[in-house]
């Protein structure tokens, strides 16, 4: 039986918007490519912001041509998953004509997000100090691999390098295995989320003070900020964090366990759950064993404990154990593939796969909204834009036409 709360969530997620989204009327210039910047801007666009994607003529965002398979058109599935609800303008920012149009856009903007290597925007004359003269209230967010300052600031920074150099890879995988990165781009996505947090905080501050500000977000800092448990152990004990596979430093057992047909995950994270587990699997001797009497002891003897538990877990399937443990109030779950996660009853209920109408691709899948706003639920109002699709539309909004437009075209504003 569904609770009232679950019914309310399902109803509100399907209810058409009757009032403006929270960021309605906020204009954002997305001068970014690939992942962290575009993803950050898409999240803000989902909340109602008018996001104008400024792209190099000819090629556009590098992600348009990325990935090893082709769609019907020239845009990759990755691009389509990070750029919904935006408008696209092509501008050659290396030309005076292109910069002239860009400056006009800056005058109308509340926020700008860029993720070029430190120094590039200054070389182009469109860094924060330059644009602040045009628009003092501008919130300017720079996303980079290692930040705008420091010995590594000039290095090219991608998710892999940030994971490696922040320490994330040093604790990912199994103790005797080779270096392994997290399966998802935690530095990229983490930085996008931290940037959103900084941008929205700065925007709230601007509403009070009238002043914009500069935001320096980096993949390195973001990845390092996720290391709460590992650094807690290091600072508390002096022991360098190490790889634990699916286990962690906080409690045991809390990891993947092998059943008769494969693995599942479970966690008995406190003494009450540990007693419940021992009773449920009919292993009361484990609860009395001096090696496992307390959580610190179970952590110290983690490998022995896992081996003992798997002697019992190997007698039934993973599904049987998950159902059995959950019925007893012990946290457990299957290890799903992405198709299984999206197609699960829960994934469908949470609408984590949605379809967007695209002028070339037809119906294309997109990942659903990760956070649900109940009063003003997000919606898709625009397909991921074709390269330069809205250039003329936005020029008209700026009042650029006739001889002025021709002069800009002749000056190379919109050509590679």
Q: Which residue of the set 50, 188, 216, 230 is catalytic?
A: 188
Of 380, 388, 336, 334, the residue nearest 358 (C-alpha): 380
Contacts of 54 (CB under 8 A, 6+ apart): 29, 30, 31, 89, 91, 93, 102, 105
Domains of the chain, with CATH numbers? 1-228+352-411 (3.40.50.10540), 254-336 (3.30.1540.10)
Of 27, 36, 217, 54, the residue nearest 109 (C-alpha): 27
- Above 80 in pLDDT, residue 1? no
CB-count burial class (<10 Å; 0-12, 13-18, 19+) for 316 = middle
Q: What is the pLDDT of residue 9?
A: 46
- 4-8, 261-265, 294-298, 339-343, range with the lowest pLDDT: 4-8
Catalytic: 30? no
Over the chain, what is the mean pLDDT? 94
Q: How confident is the model at residue 6 (pLDDT cuts 50, 70, 90)?
A: very low
CA–CA distance, 340 with 375 (Å, rounded to integer): 30
Residues 183-224: tens digit of each pLDDT: 999 999 999 999 999 999 999 999 999 999 999 999 999 999
Residues 274-327: tens digit of each pLDDT: 999 999 999 999 999 999 999 999 999 999 999 999 999 999 999 999 999 999
Rounded to 5°, angle at Cα 371 from 365 and 377:
80
Mean pLDDT for the stretch of residues 40-46: 98
Mean pLDDT for the stretch of residues 335-345: 97
- Above 60 in pLDDT, residue 17? no
CA–CA distance, 32 with 38 (Å, rounded to integer): 6
Rounded to 5°, angle at Cα 221 from 366 and 237:
120
CB-based contacts of 349-356 (< 8 A; 24+ apart in sequence) = 349/6, 349/10, 351/13, 354/380, 356/80, 356/84, 356/380, 356/383, 356/384
The pTM for the full model equals 0.92
């Amino acid at each position: 039986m569904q609770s009232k709360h679950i019914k309310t969530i399902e109803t509100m997620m399907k209810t058409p918007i009757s009032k403006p989204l929270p960021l309605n009327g906020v204009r954002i210039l997305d001068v970014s490519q690939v992942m962290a910047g575009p993803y950050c801007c898409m999240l803000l666009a989902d909340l109602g912001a008018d996001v104008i994607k400024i792209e190099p003529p000819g090629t556009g965002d590098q992600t348009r041509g990325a990935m090893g398979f082709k769609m019907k058109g020239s845009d990759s599935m990755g691009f389509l998953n990070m750029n919904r609800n935006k408008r696209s303008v092509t501008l050659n920012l290396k030309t005076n004509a292109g910069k002239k149009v860009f400056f006009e856009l800056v005058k109308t903007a509340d926020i700008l997000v860029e993720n070029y290597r430190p120094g590039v925007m200054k070389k182009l004359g469109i860094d924060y100090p330059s644009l602040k003269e045009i628009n003092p209230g501008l919130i300017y967010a720079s996303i980079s691999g290692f930040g705008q300052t420091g010995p590594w600031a000039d290095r090219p920074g991608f998710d892999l390098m940030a994971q490696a150099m922040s320490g994330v890879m040093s604790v990912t995988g199994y103790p005797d295995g080779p270096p392994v990165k997290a399966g998802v781009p935690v530095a990229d996505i983490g930085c996008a989320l931290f940037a959103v947090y900084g941008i929205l905080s700065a925007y709230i501050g601007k509403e009070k003070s009238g002043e914009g500000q500069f935001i320096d977000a980096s993949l390195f800092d973001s990845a390092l900020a996720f290391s709460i448990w590992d650094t807690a152990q290091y600072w508390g004990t002096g022991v360098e964090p190490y790889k634990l596979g699916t286990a962690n430093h906080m409690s045991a057992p809390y990891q993947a366990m092998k059943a008769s047909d494969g693995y599942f995950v479970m966690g008995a994270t406190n003494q009450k759950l540990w007693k419940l587990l021992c009773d449920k699997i009919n292993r009361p001797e484990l609860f009395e064993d001096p090696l496992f009497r307390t959580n610190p002891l179970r952590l110290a003897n983690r490998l022995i404990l896992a081996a003992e538990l798997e002697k019992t877990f190997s007698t039934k399937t993973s599904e049987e154990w998950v159902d059995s443990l959950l019925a007893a109030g012990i946290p457990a779950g299957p290890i799903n593939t992405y198709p299984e996660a999206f197609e699960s009853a829960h994934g469908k209920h949470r609408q984590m796969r949605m379809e967007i109408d695209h002028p070339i691709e037809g119906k294309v899948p997109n990942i659903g909204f990760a956070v649900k706003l109940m009063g003003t639920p997000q919606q898709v109002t625009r397909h991921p834009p074709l390269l330069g699709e809205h250039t003329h539309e936005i020029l008209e909004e700026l009042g650029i036409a006739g001889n002025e437009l021709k002069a800009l075209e002749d000056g190379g504003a919109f050509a590679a």
